[in-house]
Chain A
Amino acid sequence: MTTNRYTGIAIALHWLMAIGIVGLFALGVYMHELPLSPDKLKLYAWHKWAGVSVFLLVIVRLAWRVTHRPPSLPEHMPRPEQWLAHAGHHLLYLLMFAIPLSGWLMSSAKGFQTVWFGLLPLPDLLEKNKEIGDLLQTVHWALNMSLAVVVLGHAAAALKHHFLSRDDVLTRMLPKFAR
C-alpha cells in the first residue's frame, strides 16, 4: 500500500505550498486594489516575506522531487491524459519558480528592496527602472493568472480521478489523518 503513495515530506510540502499559494494569490489581488496607507505597505511587506518563504519551499520541493521518484500514474490512464498530467505538473513547477522570481525582480526594479521579515535583505537583482518595473508587474500578474488556470485544472483533474475514475490519485496525496 505504501509503495504507491507520496512520501510524507512530499505531502507536507504539497499542502503547505497549496495554502501558501492560495493565500498569497488572494492577498496579492486584495492588496493591489487598496489605496496607499500604512496597512497597504504592511500587507505588501507580508506578501513579499511570505513569497520569499514559499520560494524557499519551492527550492526544497524541487530538490525533493529530483531525488524522490513520485508514484507512477494509474495504468488505466490513456497516453494523452498521462502526457497532459506530466505537462501540467511541469508547468506548475515552472510557475511556482517563476512567480516569486518575477515578484523579486519587480521589487528590485521598482526600488523596493525585499528584506525578509524586515531582517534579511535580499540583493536587488535589477537597477531601479520604472519601465522595467511596470513590465515586471504585468509579467507577475500574467504568470499568476496562468497559475490560477493550471491550479484549477490540477484540482479538477484530482477530483475527476477521485469521483469519476475512482482511483487513488487524490488520496495518495492526502495526509494520513485525512484519508
Chain B
Amino acid sequence: MKRITLALLLAASLAPTAHAVEYGQVQADKSRIDFAYQQMGVKMDGRFRKFTSQLSFDPAKPAAAKASFAVALDSIDLGSSEADQEVASKPWFSTQAFPHASFVSSTVKALGGNRYEVAGKLTIKGQTRDIVVPATFATQGATGVFDGAFTLRRGDFSIGEGAWAKFDIVANEVQVTFRITATPK
C-alpha cells in the first residue's frame, strides 16, 4: 500500500513536467536554416539569416503538433554579395514579387524514439509542393531542439530560370538543414 502511494505521488509530481510541456517560443538566435548544393562538382553552402516561425509541440502529443515558417529570401547568405544579389533576381527567387518562402505543416507523425515526420506544404516563388521532412527532437535543459533535413529540387519551384535552368552548373538538388530551438510557451 505504502509502495503504491509512493508510486502515485511520484507519478503525480512528474506528470506535469512530463506531459504538459509545449514548446512554442522559438529562440531565433539559436535557430538556423542552412542549405547545401553542388556547383560543377563543388559542394557549396549558404544559409538564410532571417525567418520567423510558429511552433507548438508537445512531445506527449506529437500528432497535435504544428509548425509554420516564413523565410525572408533576401536574407540569403551565399558567401559573396555578388551571388546574394544574383539569387534575389527574377530568374532565381524573384524576391521583389515573392519575398518569402513558407512552410506550413499538415500532419506530424511520431516514428518512435525521438524521430518524427512532418508533412506539409512548401511554397516558394508562388508554387506550392507537398513535402515530408524527417526531424528529431531533443531537450537541452529547459529548451527543446529540433533538427531536420530534406532535399528540394530547385527546378520544382522555378528557382534558377533561363540560362540557369539546366542543372549542369548548379545542381537541381538542394539539401536544406535546420535547427530550431524553442522554449516552453
Contact = CB atoms under 8 A, between A and B. Distances in A.
Given A36-B83, A42-B169, A128-B79, A113 B163 contact: no
A113 B40 contact: no
Interface residues of A, number: 18
A7 B40 CA distance: 39
B80 A110 contact: yes
B29 interface: no
Contacts of A37: 163
Interface in A15-55: 36-39, 41-42, 45
Given A41-B169, A42-B169, A36 B82 contact: yes
Contact of A38 (B45, B82, B166): B166
Contacts of B82: 36
A37 B166 CA distance: 12
B169 A112 contact: no
Contacts, number: 42
B42 A113 contact: yes
A130 interface: yes
Q: How large is the interface on B (under 10, 10 to 19, 20 to 34, 35 or more residues)?
A: 10 to 19
Do most interface residues of chain A lie in helix, strand or loop, or is the interface mixed? loop
Contacts of B166: 38
B164 A115 contact: no
Contact of A112 (B44, B86, B163, B170): B44
B163 A38 contact: yes
Interface string B21-51: 0000000000000000001111111000000
Interface of B: 39-45, 79-80, 82-83, 86, 163-164, 166, 168-170
22 contacts: A36-B82, A36-B86, A38-B163, A38-B164, A38-B166, A38-B168, A38-B169, A38-B170, A41-B169, A41-B170, A42-B40, A110-B80, A111-B44, A112-B44, A114-B42, A115-B40, A118-B41, A118-B42, A119-B41, A128-B79, A130-B79, A130-B80
